[in-house]
Amino acid sequence: MATIRVVLAEDNALLREGISRIIDGEPDLDLLGRAADLPELLELIESASPDVVVTDIRMPPTGTDEGIQAASWLREHRPEVGVVVLSQYKTPSYALALLETGSAGRAYLLKEHVAGADELAQAVRIGCDENDLGVGWHLKVPPSIDLCLYRCVRKEHLIETGKRIRLKPNIRLLSQLLDGLDGYKFSFYVISAAPVEVIQSALEGIVPADHIFGTRFRYDDSGEIQSIEQVPAGYGKVAVLEELTAKLQISHNRVIYVGDGSSDVHVMLHVNRREGLTIAVSENKYITQIAKRTILSDDALSVLIPILEDVANWPPSKIRALFESQGFVLQEWEKVRTDSLTISKSSAPQQVNA
């Protein structure tokens, strides 16, 4: 069984000790270090490279939402790291804030409903396994652990969360330019493990609601989430993509898939095997090794470059002209190949014959 590397952040010394003992008591969990505030946690993450971070929601220096801040920082800088946020607050605002940067690899657990010492360890363990598979594992923790998502979130909360999501600049223009590309017809769809209400709200007026596939919930009579109907993550994304290609009657080699996280691994492999184009838009180590192209930029228009090069066979001069016609200049367009490796000392130097 592979060891899951964990770091813990909790400002309460008694709770920190208790949670540490839970983690230390599990043979497959390795507690790499403990932090008592947000700056210490971020330093620990950088030095220890954990698989999962278990963090309190409120810590110094401000005692407000440091756990959410840590999750947001990890989403941007270390997207492969899972986060379990421990909280005593039942209000949905904290849980929804946690999901603003994406739902995959994020869990919000109420401290009062962690029923036994082994349950937190089980949540970390399942979470790490599901994160590797690209499943939104905040939906997969043991049922005895009370998720705020099930107990207090209503549809209107999800819609409001979508309105607060900060989209990359020019995402609307990206869709318009693809629609106007001579000789090609593009259909823009979104497949995500995030709640469908969140995505539809965030992309309202940009992507039609029926072109968005996300996690679907069943609601009770009071309007609160009761259960999950569908989670399009991991292999679930593959299933949705297959349904779309059959419905649209297009061949697999005409599929362009853009992804940014580990939940896209399986669907990218699927598209590659069928000679489609896969584009990674983050430095996530799981997908950059799989994607045929990787493009790193803060602007949504950057996705146009591999599409125009690999699909439309445009030269760089023509691509630059298109951007200039829209009032943009391509700056620092660097084409590089990145080798990722680790070098360590061997037990004894090896003789090399020239």
Distance (Å, whole) CA 35 – CA 9: 5
Residues of the chain within CATH 3.40.50.2300 domain(s) are 4-153
Beta-carbon contacts of 86 under 8 Å, excluding residues fewer than 6 positions away, are 10, 19, 54, 55, 56, 57, 67, 109, 111, 114, 120
| Residue 81 token pair | 């790291």
The mean pLDDT of 116-140, rounded to a whole number, is 52
- How far is CA 248 from each of CA 102, 179, 206, 234, 269, rounded to the nearest angstrom? 28, 16, 20, 22, 21
Q: Which of 79-83, 151-155, 279-283, 341-345 has the lowest mean pLDDT?
A: 341-345
Helix (H, G, I), strand (E, B) or coil at 58: coil
Task: Report pLDDT digits (tens) over 2-60.
Answer: 788 999 999 999 889 988 988 888 888 999 999 999 999 999 999 999 999 999 999 99
149 pLDDT above the threshold of 50: no
- CA 305 vs CA 85, 280, 315: distances in Å: 38, 12, 10
pLDDT band at residue 343 using 50, 70 and 90 as cut-offs? low
Highest mean pLDDT among 200-214, 282-296, 323-337 belongs to 200-214
Question: How far apart, in whole angstroms, are the C-alpha atoms of residue 3 and residue 125?
Answer: 10
Burial class of 315 by CB neighbour count within 10 A (0 to 12, 13 to 18, 19+) = exposed
Domain 168-325 architecture = 3-Layer(aba) Sandwich (3.40)
Domain boundaries for CATH 3.40.50.1000 within the chain? 168-325
Query: What's the confidence (pLDDT) of residue 338?
Result: 57
This prediction has a pTM of: 0.65
**pLDDT 10s digits, 242-299:** 999 999 999 999 999 999 877 788 899 999 999 999 999 887 777 888 999 999 888 9
In angstroms and rounded to an integer, the radius of gyration of the C-alpha atoms of the chain is 22
pLDDT of residue 30: 93
CATH number of 4-153: 3.40.50.2300
